[in-house]
Every structure is written in structure tokens, then in C-alpha cells.
Amino acid sequence: MKRIEAINDFVIKFANVNGSGSASANELFAKAILRMGVPVSPRNIFPSNIQGMPTWYEARVCEKGYLGRRGGVDMMVAMNPQTWDADVAEITPGGYLFYDSTRPIPAAKFRQDIEVIGMPLTEISNNTYAEPRQRQLFKNIIYVGALSVLLDVEAEVFEKLFAEQYRGKEMLLDSNVRALHLGRDYAREHLQAPLGIRVRRADQVGDRIFTDGNSAAALGCVYGGATVAAWYPITPSSSIPEAFQKYCDKYRVDPETGRGNFAIVQAEDELASIGMVVGAGWNGARAFTATSGPGISLMTEFIGLAYFAEIPVTLINVQRGGPSTGMPTRTQQSDLLSCAYASHGDTKHVLLFPEDPHECFEHAAAALDLADRLQTPIFVMTDLDIGMNQRLCRPFAWDDARQYDRGKVMTAEELEAGKDFGRYKDVDGDGIPWRTYPGTHPTKGSFFTRGTTRDPYARYSERGPDYIYNMERLCAKFRTAANLVPQPVLRGAARPTPLGVIYFGSTSPAMQEALDVLTASGVDLDAMRLRAFPFPEVVDSFIAAHEQVFVVEQNRDGQMHAMLVNELQVDPARLVKVLHYDGTPITARFITQAIQTHLQGARATLKEAA
């Protein structure tokens, strides 16, 4: 058997039982590698119950800096008997299996083409600790200690992490360090180390930070001027308002009075939460809600009201698997259509597609500006993979002198001077009318807010021409939005090519690696990462410049593909769907194989035709 040999380039996967405390230990392992200057990208795959069900934690270690899932597992840490067979089967030939050998396992349960490392973890833990919960929790730290020897990770890095985590809690610090060295001592005395895969100090992390998208979006809302959040708990978005609360306690408190300058409401349901946000936006506050697909479904009528009454609203949708409850703790990009056209009647909404926590921060702040500027709902379309998994990303840029873009707001002085105010009147051709805040002037600038049709001066009207005027103005505003939203990012191939690829959001990390692999195999593609809807003109030009364009997304029905065809009048035959929707983040190998398979099939068809 030829075992896998690699330094700073491997995938390790932990198979555990949910509720066992393994997540903290596995995260500790990933952070230790990061502290050695080696980029690591972990992903937690967990069930939707509290405990007892299988959970996995996959860490991609890659000195080259690829942060997407590669595909394949080089080492499996198998701690769950329920999933043993599937976990062992997942290991790449020549890879490694680390397991708890306290109880004997039949030889038939192992593979001949992998290296097996057994360690009596339960026995060691039981002999050391008396309390059952301690036995379970410290068993996780013991296997981390053993792995640190097997993979050549420095003990001092773990000790420093413990010191930071348990500062002022010396008892916890000492007990965790002890458990770590129990594992290290056993591995040094009884196991052959290091393995063929190992970690070596590098300097490839730089000034990047390690955070999750939900925390980043919450901080972005603070930076963007949000003072109101209303929400109802739903996985995987609940940590956004929780983090917003934490950041507001730090940045939204009056230093003189000690009073908070913010309002955060956990509403009784999603309908109430979006209603509160619409009311706050109407009143001039910057407000947002955070939810997921089922919440969007419930909020649809209020979203339509905000669209038609033209009230600024920001919605952060951390997408998950659907329909219905679907897979609430798995990731997808399956709410594109439901958000882009949310509400009955003719509606179109602005969507932003962040690729990582850095853009979650940027886009959350930008969404609040866009909502005011365009006077409409803005959706930040993140997902579980970005939102709940920690990722290396560029540090956030915070400018204390930042000025909020409030858009067209008429002042009391302008009203007093006799400036014409028509709440729904297009005065300069961009489709965006002027508005006033409640109470701006004692006698001027007031209007009746309604979800029914009206004329340009907000007077009730069922006249066809008034309705058409308003609907066409909303279309003009949507066209204006295409120039205001974050623009696409282009990556040109080294050589001219008739092939292109379009991708967005959380597909980005895997796509970067797939493009490099495809180029190395002789397949050149021009690439465009979409960052927003409506699509700027450059998207149409990009598609027109290529004979075929692959559209990579994580849903069953090709929702981005459908939007491109619908909005740009593109011939569907020119767009090739690359769809991944099993609930796990897309891998570079999946993308590469899908594109290569399609091209091979196309070449075979041409050959037969000839």
C-alpha cells in the first residue's frame, strides 16, 4: 500500500456524536494549525437535533490557500460507531483511520488500503477521570493531543490557545493541558509518528482574520448604521441578532447616560418581526431582520408592502436546505427565486451575494445604504456554509468618518421653500422618488402610506394610467439599482476561450481551486463571480462573448440559470447547469468533474456527427 504523503495539504474529517463536546475540541485543532501559519478551512456538518445524532467536522489544510472543500478525505477520526462503515469508506486509498480501540472491532470492518491507528481513548479517559461528563469531554482533548503528535503540530500552540480561552480559570486551564499531554504522551510511546501527512510551520496566513459570516454580517449592520433589529429564531440565522446585540452593547451605548441607542426585539413570529422592521424603516430608522427560507415565505406579504409602498428594509437570508423544513442544518443556495420575486403581483427585489465573511460585513453595511437610496427591500443572500462556519478572510475596514447614504430625503427647509413634493413622483428619470421622515414639517411633506395604488402625490387612485406610471417607475428604479449594487468580479483565462463560467456566493472558494485545476488540465475558462441582482450590463456582455457558459450553483432547479434566462433573454442552450444540492458545501472536485464530463460529452457528440 502506498500511503498518502503530504505536508500542509490534506483533508482531515472528524466523525462524532452530536452533544459530545467534540465541536470545541475539533475547532481547537483547526485553530492550532492556523496559528502555525498554515491556512485551514473547517466546516461543521451537524444534525438538527440537540444530541445523539451523527455530526462531522471537516478541516481542509492547504498552504496554497484554497479555502473551499476539495473533496475526498485523507484522514478520518472515527469516533461514532453509528457511522463507522460510511466513514471508513470515505477515506481516500492510502489515507489514515484513527479510532478508539478500547473495544475490539472485527477485522472485516477495516480496509486493507488505508493505514489504521488505534488508541484506547475511552480506557485512558476512564482511568483518569471519575465524573462521566469529564470522561467524555476530556476524551476529545486526549485525541487532539494524540493527533498533534501524529501530524507534528506543536504542543505550545495548543497550550497558548488554552491560556487565552481559560484566562482567569486556572482549574480549567490545567485540566485541559493535562488531557492534551495524556494524548501526546501515549502517541509518542505507542504510535509511529509523524504520519505521511503532517503540518509544518509556514507564513501563509498574513493579516487575515478567522471568523464566521453571521458575526461579520451583524458587525456590518452596526457599521452600516442599523439601530433596529426584529427577528424570530430560526437556524441558521439566529446568531446574527445575537451577535448584533453583543456589538450594540459595545458600540451603541451613550457614554454619558449608559443607555442603549438601539432596539432589538425577538418577535412572536416572522410576520411580526418583518412588520416591526417595515415600521421602523418607514419611521426613518435603519432596520433589519435575519431569517432563512421558511421565514421568507411567511414574510412575503409584508415584503410586498415594503416594495410597493417603497419603505427601506434589509433582510439577511442565511439560506438552508428546503422545501418546508427540508434540511435545516445543511447549506444550499435555493432561495434565489423566492427572494428575487417575493410577493404576489409584479415585484423584483435587489439581492446581494457575499462570498465570505468579509463580504458579509461589507454587503450588510451596503444593504442598509441601498435600502435607503432605493427605498426598497434589500436581501443579503448568505447561507449556512458562510454564516456558521469560520473562514479566513481579509480584515474588515472600519472608517469612523463613514457617511450614510440616506438617498432622496426632503428636508423641512426645502418644503418651507416651496419645493414640489410628490411622494411617488419621478423627478429625474432614475425611478426613485423623494420621501420625508414623519414629523419633518408641521404642515407640509406629509403623505398617506398605503399598499394600494395611488398617483404620484400618494393620492388613492385606481386609474390605469396611474398604476402603469407607478409600475414602470419601479422598473426604472430597478434598472438604476443595477449600477448601484456591487459589480461582478471577472477572472480572465490566460488564453482566449469560447468557454465561460458564472458563479456566486459560497461556491466561490471551491470555484477558485477548480479553475486552477481545469487550467492545468488544458481547459481554459473566463470566470465571472456575480455579486448582486439585478444583473449589470456586463453580465449580458460576458455571456454573449462565449459560446457556452457554465452556471455553478447549489440548488436542484438551477435558479440562477433561470434568472439569467428570464432577465437577460439569453438562449438557454448557451448556459450549462452545474448543480450541487446534497446539503454539503460544493467541492472543487465536483465542479471540475462536472465541467470536464460535459466537455467530453460534447466532443464525443461532435465526433459522432462528423
> For position 171, what pLDDT does the model report?
79
Residue 386: pLDDT above 90? Answer: yes
- Mean pLDDT score of the chain, rounded to an integer? 96
Q: Mean pLDDT, to the nearest integer, of 108-129?
A: 96
| Amino acid (1-letter code) at residue 105 | I
> For position 166, what pLDDT does the model report?
86
C-alpha cell at 161: 490557545
Report pLDDT digits (tens) over 501-538.
999 999 999 999 999 999 999 999 999 999 999 999 99
Rounded distance between C-alpha atoms, residue 143 and residue 25, angstroms: 9
* 122 in Cβ contact with 102 (< 8 Å): yes
Report pLDDT digits (tens) over 11-44.
999 999 988 889 999 999 999 999 999 999 999 9
Q: Give the strands of the sheet with 313-319, arranged side by side.
A: 263-266, 228-231, 287-291, 313-319, 377-383, 350-352, 532-533
- Alpha helices (H) in 52-109, listed in sequence order: 84-89
Would you call 556 helix, strand, or coil by DSSP? coil
Would you call 302 helix, strand, or coil by DSSP? helix
Report pLDDT digits (tens) over 548-579.
999 999 999 999 999 999 999 999 999 999 99
Report pLDDT digits (tens) over 428-445.
999 999 999 999 999 999
Rounded distance between C-alpha atoms, residue 106 and residue 47, angstroms: 28
> For position 46, what pLDDT does the model report?
87
> For position 49, what pLDDT does the model report?
72
The gap from C-alpha 126 to its chain's centroid, in whole angstroms, comes to 40
> What band does 610 get if pLDDT is binned at 50, 70 and 90?
low
Report pLDDT digits (tens) over 202-220.
999 999 999 999 999 999 9
> For position 50, what pLDDT does the model report?
65
Taken as a whole, the chain contains a residue count of 610
C-alpha cell at 357: 465573511
Rounded distance between C-alpha atoms, residue 175 and residue 189, angstroms: 21
3-state helix, strand, coil in the chain (%, to 5): 40, 20, 40
Beta bridge partners of 454: 460
Spell out the residues 6+ positions from residue 472 whose beta carbon is closer than 8 angstroms to its own. none
> By CB neighbour count within 10 A (0-12 exposed, 13-18 middle, 19+ buried), where does 550 fall?
buried
Question: H or E stretch including 263?
Answer: strand 263-266
Q: Mean pLDDT, to the nearest integer, of 389-398?
A: 96
Closest residue by Cα to residue 437 from 282, 307, 287, 311: 282
Rounded distance between C-alpha atoms, residue 212 and residue 298, angstroms: 26
Counts for the chain of helices (H) and strands (E), in that order: 19, 22
Q: Mean pLDDT, to the nearest integer, of 418-430?
A: 97
45-49, 195-199, 394-398, 436-440: which range is least confident on average? 45-49
To which residue does cell 465536483 refer?
590
Whether residue 236 has a cis bond before it, omega within 30° of 0: yes
Rounded distance between C-alpha atoms, residue 222 and residue 361, angstroms: 9
Would you call 495 helix, strand, or coil by DSSP? coil
Q: What is the dihedral of CA 95, 100, 104, 105, to 10 degrees?
A: -40
C-alpha cell at 397: 475596514
Would you call 258 helix, strand, or coil by DSSP? coil
Report pLDDT digits (tens) over 286-318.
999 999 999 999 999 999 999 999 999 999 999
Question: Would you tell me the crossing angle of helices 508-520 and 588-609 to the nearest 10 degrees?
Answer: 50
> For position 173, what pLDDT does the model report?
87
Please write down the long-range contacts of 450-459, taking CB distance under 8 Å and 24 or more positions apart.
450/309, 451/304, 451/305, 451/308, 451/309, 454/424, 455/424, 456/422, 456/423, 456/424, 456/425, 456/426, 457/422, 457/423, 457/424, 457/425, 458/422, 458/423, 458/424
> For position 170, what pLDDT does the model report?
78
What are the two backbone dihedrals, phi and then psi, of residue 7, each rounded to the nearest 5 degrees?
Answer: -115, 125
Report pLDDT digits (tens) over 159-190.
999 999 888 887 788 899 999 999 999 999 99
